[in-house]
Structure 1
Amino acid sequence: MPQRYSLVAITLHWAIAALLAFQLAVGWALEGLGARGFNLYQLHKSVGITILTLTLARIAVRYWKPRPAKLEGGWQGALASGVHVGLYIFMLGAPLSGWALVSTAKVKVPTLIFGVLPLPHLPLPASSHAFAENGHGLLALIGVALFLLHVAGALRHHLLMRDGLIWRMVPGRSTTLLLALPALLLVGFAAGRAILPTPQAAPAPAPVIEEPDNGAEATNVTEAQVAAANAAAPADNAAANATETAAAAPAPAGPPPAWTVQPGGRIGFSVGNDGETISGSFSKWTAQIVMDPDHPASADIKVTIDIASASVGDAYKDGMLPGDEFFGAAAHPTATFVAKGAESTGPSRYRASGTLTVKGVSKPQTIRFTLSGKDATRRVSGSATVTRSAFGVGNGDSSKGLTPQVAVTFDFAAKRKD
């Protein structure tokens, strides 16, 4: 009876085989998924590094417990040995080329193994990216060919030669395991296909919102953004009434009061992403506000945002936000909005037109906000729609699925200074 591989070697053999089947099912679909495949791409990287680790362990076991002697010589034995060597090259080369591909990409996406363990980028020049990308794809094709040859060889020995070679990789010569272990490959492949996003239907034409205050052309926005804009926008008759009220209001008795923003406020943002919505916020920002609510023309507003504090609650995406493709935080650590004066658009509703500066680019920007409360403490809530391309935010391949507009919302309490 042929000598059997160790139980450790058998376990590693079938585990790696199942994971490779999963990787092949997922990997070939990633390119066509665009932004919808982001999370799947991170899983693909994690499984790839797992295969690399298990393969290194398998090589160590091979020397710790030498494999059984060959049963066949000649060209058939040489071919079998060549296929085995090729499979090891594939199991090492595919994860390593994928690691190199990620390390040399223009957009530095952080790698966290299963969202927990950080994996550093390899110190490779950016010029090697094309080589890594082409090599990764070629190795996948070679791996499939080697896998088919390996399976064909195993079936030849078991069904034609009947030499019992296949029992080397089946504990206890169990017929049940002989069927169950190869089935793991089908399970791995099926699992990879099952978690792929369903094909997305063509989106219906998006509603249009106009911003006549800026003189900007109408732009398509998501339904959520339209709802937010409509909620913030005043009705025409309310605006007319507010204008009449403002005209009748007495002149201010003195300089407008300054306000101190209280802890607990929030500046958030959301953007469509291939039919989904990515939402986040800035955890660090300051605001200097001078304004008499009864005389909004007195407003003097400046908001400064720490760009590096942006977060969407996902470690992978948060690692991308400070990069040049998005906020370029290294060269432009802050974004600012400055407005001199505001106008009433209804009871406790206002509009301020000012200048927004992001990534060193300054553009006209309008915000709408409401005030609630009275006397020395007021609640401020409002929104704005920002065209990201005007500031070079989301200017790379990984941003193709993002909608042109970003909905910005803010909500905070302010206390009048004495």
Structure 2
Amino acid sequence: MQRYSRTAIFLHWAIAALLAFQIAVGWALEDLGARGFSLFQLHKSIGISILALTLARIVLRYWKPRPASVEGGWQGALAKAVHGGLYIFMLGAPLTGWALVSTAKVKVPTLIFGAIPLPHLPLPMSVNDPAHGAHAILAWIGIALFALHVAGALRHHFLMGDGLLWRMMPVRSPVLLAALPALVAAGFLLGRVILPAPAPKAVAAATVPAAIEEEAPANVAEAADNAANAAAPASADNAAAAEEVAGPPPSWTVRPGGNIGFSVDNGGEAINGGFSKWTAKIAMDPDHPESADIRVEIDLASASVGDSYKDGMLAGDEFFGVAAHPKAVFTAKGAEKAGTNGYRASGTLNLKGVSKPQSIRFTLSGTGKARKVSGSATIARASFGVGNGESSAGLAPNVAVSFDFNAVTE
């Protein structure tokens, strides 16, 4: 039986092993978040490698034509359709992935195996959603075609006994007949083995906002409140000043289910995200806000914008630099009234190794030992070196932060 050329045989098994690896990894990438960033980069590198090898194989087919088909009729037509579909998959999956990277809101530089820069395709942002859908559909179609191709080869070689697999072996060797398919299986197993372990479920604990903003001019509402306070009778001010706080302020426990989110404009489109892991120690008497003592710690690795690729960028040095600075810490001693049920706490934010004065605004609703807290703030990201690279060129200078949670005291 006529064999394929040695080059074609090498390309066939190399592409098959890489595809098996991609299939194993691709299933899990969306759920890995920031932990999957390096694996995502490897996924891109292997995808482009498959694209290059497939183009080489297409060129080789015209240079050294493949052996004649061993079966006609509808079975032969089906085999040709599967082969054609596999080529579409091997070209289309990497190209749609490349389009995805090129049209992402946050432009992430791609280095093939950490060494060769891959330019972004000159495509409009509107291509991103169709590319995402096509990439996912092609992946499932590719898996189906992969399975049909394997089933057809096994049918011919073992059920029909025509030795079809020998055409894809450099020599007629039972060892190679077992070893080369095993190489493909090894590619799949390797893809599963190198996946990061599942992240431990975050304890639904205090997730207090690090919603810390730079000092800014008071808004109209706050100015009106200040004017009203200034017009109050002097006797009331004196009475308030004379009133003493009875004992230390109560400590508050943040209940599960709180939320902290952030939003930043990127060329006219908002990038929205949040932190899933944070803790806080809060002591404050709402009637005497000057008694407040606040400390908030945020696990920066928990930042997410709902896209594992972009989440990996957030953890990198261009944004949060999680490896060197895993936490952001906000502390404040004392707060002040800022309108009805409103407060303002000025303190210090330590982010990415930089400490600067910041403040948060919040309101309290409810009475007694249970309160609902909601608020907002603005962070000037450049002051902390957040977004300091080429991919951040389109980001607005200020990041809006919002938060809400429930707290109780004994």
- Of 272, 289, 293, the residue aligned with 2:300 is 272
Q: Residues of 2 paired with 1:55 and 1:85: CA distance?
A: 12
Change (3 A) 1:211 1:385: farther
**2:348 aligns to what?**
366
Q: Residues of 1 paired with 2:161 and 2:359: CA distance?
A: 69
Q: Residues of 2 paired with 1:71 and 1:178: CA distance?
A: 19
Deviations for 1:81-112, whole angstroms, at most 9, x for unmatched residues?
A: 11101100100000000000111111111111
Unaligned runs of 5+ in 2: 206-277, 304-312, 322-332, 334-344, 361-376, 388-400, 402-410
**2:378 aligns to what?**
390
Q: Residues of 2 paired with 1:214 and 1:113: CA distance?
A: 55
**1:255 aligns to what?**
none
Give the C-alpha shift of residue 6 in structure 1: 0.7
**1:153 aligns to what?**
152
Q: Tell me the amino acid that sits aligned with residue 208 of structure 1.
A: A
Q: Tell me the amino acid that sits aligned with residue 391 of structure 1.
A: I
Q: Residues of 1 paired with 2:359 and 2:66: CA distance?
A: 62
Q: Residues of 2 paired with 1:162 and 1:216: CA distance?
A: 83
Answer yes or no: is the 8 Å Cα contact 2:21–2:188 preserved in 1.
yes
**Aligned residue pairs, count:** 261
**1:137 aligns to what?**
136
Answer yes or no: is the 8 Å Cα contact 1:214–1:364 preserved in 2.
no
Change (3 A) 1:157 1:191: same
**1:76 aligns to what?**
75
Answer yes or no: is the 8 Å Cα contact 1:209–1:219 preserved in 2.
yes
Q: Residues of 2 paired with 1:44 and 1:216: CA distance?
A: 49
Give the C-alpha shift of residue 35 in structure 1: 1.6
- What pairs with 1:116-131 in structure 2 (closer than 5 Å)? 116-131=115-130
Answer yes or no: is the 8 Å Cα contact 1:97–1:135 preserved in 2.
yes
**2:31 aligns to what?**
32
- What pairs with 1:7-406 in structure 2 (closer than 5 Å)? 7-204=6-203, 205=205, 207-209=279-281, 218=294, 220-222=296-298, 272-274=300-302, 317=316, 321=319, 366=348, 383=355, 390-391=378-379
Q: Residues of 2 paired with 1:49 and 1:143: CA distance?
A: 16
Answer yes or no: is the 8 Å Cα contact 2:283–2:291 preserved in 1.
yes
Answer yes or no: is the 8 Å Cα contact 1:111–1:316 preserved in 2.
no
Change (3 A) 1:73 1:214: farther
Q: Residues of 2 paired with 1:145 and 1:74: CA distance?
A: 22
Secondary structure of the equivalent of 2:13? helix
More deviation, 386-395/166-175 = 386-395
Q: Residues of 2 paired with 1:364 and 1:53: CA distance?
A: 56
Say what the alpha-carbon RMSD is for the aligned residues.
3.7
Q: Residues of 2 paired with 1:98 and 1:143: CA distance?
A: 14
Q: Residues of 2 paired with 1:97 and 1:59: CA distance?
A: 19
Q: Residues of 1 paired with 2:10 and 2:149: CA distance?
A: 17
